[in-house]
A and B are shown apart, each in its own frame.
Chain A
Amino acid sequence: MKRNPLSFQIDVDKFGSASESEKRSTNLMRPNSTFFMDGVKRFVKNPVAMVSFCFIVITLIMVFIVPIFYPYAYDEVICYRYVDRPDGSFNRLAPFAFAPAEQTAIESGTFVFPHLFGTDANGHDYFIRILVGARTSLIVGFFAAIIVLIIGGIIGSLCGFIGGKFDLIVMRIVDVIYSLPDILIIILLSATLAAVFDGNQGGALAQLGSGFVAIFVVFALLYWVGMARLVRGQVLTLRKQEYVMAARANGAGTARIIFRHLIPNSMSVIIISAALQIPSAIFTESFLSYLGLGVKYPTPSLGSLASDAQSYIVSNSTKELFLFLIPAIAICLIVLSLNLLGDGLRDAFDPKLQK
Chain B
Amino acid sequence: MWKKIILYVAKRLLLGILTYLLVVTVTFWVMQLVPGGPWTREKALSDAVIDALNRRYGLDQPLFIQYLRYLWKAIQIPPDFGVSYYYKGRTVLGIINDGFKISLPIGAAAAVLALIVGLALGTYAATHQNKFFDRAIMVLTTASVAMPSFVIALILLYVFAVNLHLVPTSPVGVDGIGPYILPVIAASLYPTAYITRLVRSSTLDVLGQDYMRTAKAKGLTPSRTLMKHGLRNSVTPVVTYFGPMFASIITGSLVIEKVFQLPGVGREFIRSIQNRDYPLIMGTTCLLALLLISFTLVSDIVYIIVNPRVDFD
Contact = CB atoms under 8 A, between A and B. Distances in A.
Pairing of A with B: yes
Interface of A: 175-177, 179-181, 183-185, 187-189, 191-193, 195-196, 198-199, 279, 283, 286-287, 290-293, 303, 306-307, 310, 313-314, 316, 321, 324, 328, 331-333, 335-336, 339-340
B146 A339 contact: yes
Interface in B28-56: 30-31, 33-36
Looking at chain A's contact residues, the main secondary structure is: helix
A303 B255 CA distance: 12
Nearest to A312: B158
Which secondary structure dominates chain B's binding surface? helix
Interface string B255-296: 100110000000001100110100001000100110011001
B276 A195 contact: yes
Given A185-B23, A195-B34, 14 more contacts: A177-B22, A180-B289, A181-B250, A185-B285, A187-B254, A187-B285, A283-B148, A287-B251, A290-B148, A307-B150, A313-B154, A313-B162, A328-B148, A335-B147
B26 A185 contact: yes
Contact of B154 (A292, A316, A324): A324
B281 A191 contact: yes
Contacts of A185: 23, 26, 285
A317 B133 CA distance: 35
Given A279-B146, A307-B150, A188 B285 contact: yes
Interface stretch (B13-21, B176-184, B224-232): B13-21
A287 B152 CA distance: 12
A283 B255 CA distance: 13
Contacts of A328: 148, 151, 154-155
Contacts of B254: 183, 187, 291
B35 A196 contact: yes
A199 B247 contact: no
22 contacts: A180-B23, A181-B292, A184-B289, A187-B285, A192-B33, A192-B34, A193-B33, A287-B149, A290-B255, A293-B273, A303-B148, A306-B151, A310-B150, A310-B154, A313-B157, A314-B157, A314-B162, A321-B158, A328-B148, A332-B151, A333-B146, A336-B146
A340 B142 contact: yes
Contact of A313 (B33, B158, B276, B285): B158
Contacts of B155: 328
B162 A180 contact: no
Contacts of B145: 339
Interface size class for chain B?
35 or more
B236 interface: no
A286 to B, nearest CB: 5
Closest 10 A/B residue pairs (Cβ): A336-B146, A199-B35, A191-B273, A335-B146, A328-B151, A183-B251, A290-B150, A195-B34, A316-B162, A179-B19
B169 A314 contact: yes
B127 interface: no
B27 interface: yes
B41 to A, nearest CB: 14
A177 B255 CA distance: 24
A163 to B, nearest CB: 16
Contacts of A316: 158, 162-163
Contact of A336 (B16, B36, B142, B293): B142
Nearest to A189: B30
B143 interface: yes
A187 B253 CA distance: 14
Nearest to A194: B273
A307 B22 CA distance: 33
A331 B270 CA distance: 23
A287 B154 contact: no
Contacts of B35: 195-196, 198-199
Contacts of A177: 22
A79 to B, nearest CB: 26
Contact of B274 (A193, A279, A287, A292): A292
Given A176-B22, A291-B258, A340-B142, A332 B147 contact: yes
A340 B143 CA distance: 10
Interface in B97-138: none
A105 B100 CA distance: 59
Contacts of B36: 195, 199
A183 to B, nearest CB: 4
B207 to A, nearest CB: 15
Contacts of A333: 146
A339 B251 CA distance: 21
B202 to A, nearest CB: 14
Contacts of A183: 247, 250-251, 254
Contacts of A307: 150
B187 to A, nearest CB: 14
A279 B27 CA distance: 27
Nearest to A221: B26
